[in-house]
Amino acid sequence: MPKRPNTPCKHPGCAKLVPYGSQYCEEHAPMHRHDVKGTKEKGYDSRWRKARVRFLKVHPLCVKCLEKGRLEKATVVDHIIPHRGSKVLFWDENNWQALCKRCHDRKTRLEDQRLEYKY
């Protein structure tokens, strides 16, 4: 069976090829170690799952769809301001909103993916 071809490093502007299944070349891998944290390491554990279920029972409809006059069941608890590891923002229920998956994916793609650097 043929071997899969190498793929480009995912670091912006890097054209080095890495083995299939790897994301970054040896030079850029240390810069992106924080990108590969698991959900449990990010705080999404059993305590979060219980809080999420409770929140969705109280807020069953997507707030973005309601603004547009549509009734859509909420399936995701979104952090309005991305917590980026802050436990205070993570657990602040005033920073939570109920969204359907489509609205959550759109919000994440348009608003939350920009890296915020702190100096």
pLDDT in tens, 5-34: 999 998 888 989 999 988 899 998 888 776
Same domain, residue pair 52 and 92: yes
Is residue 15 domain-resident? yes
Instruction: Identify the pLDDT of residue 119.
Output: 44
pLDDT digits (tens, 9 = 90+) for 44-95: 899 999 999 999 999 999 999 999 999 999 999 999 988 877 899 999 999 9
Quote the pTM value: 0.66
| CA gap 71, 52 in Å, rounded | 20
pLDDT higher than threshold 90 for residue 3: no
26: containing domain: 7-34
The pLDDT value recorded for residue 65 is 97
Instruction: DSSP for 42-102, please give it.
Output: TT-SHHHHHHHHHHHHH--B-HHHHHTT---B--EEEESS--TT-HHHHH-GGGEEEE-HH
* Per-residue pLDDT at 91: 95
Q: Is 83 in contact with 89 (CB distance < 8 Å)? A: yes
Q: Do 54 and 23 belong to one domain?
A: no
Label residues 80-97 b or e (16+ Cβ within 10 Å = b): bebbeeeeeebeeeebbb
Is 20 found in the same domain as 67?
no
Q: Do residues 56 and 92 share a domain?
A: yes
90 and 58, same domain (yes or no)? yes
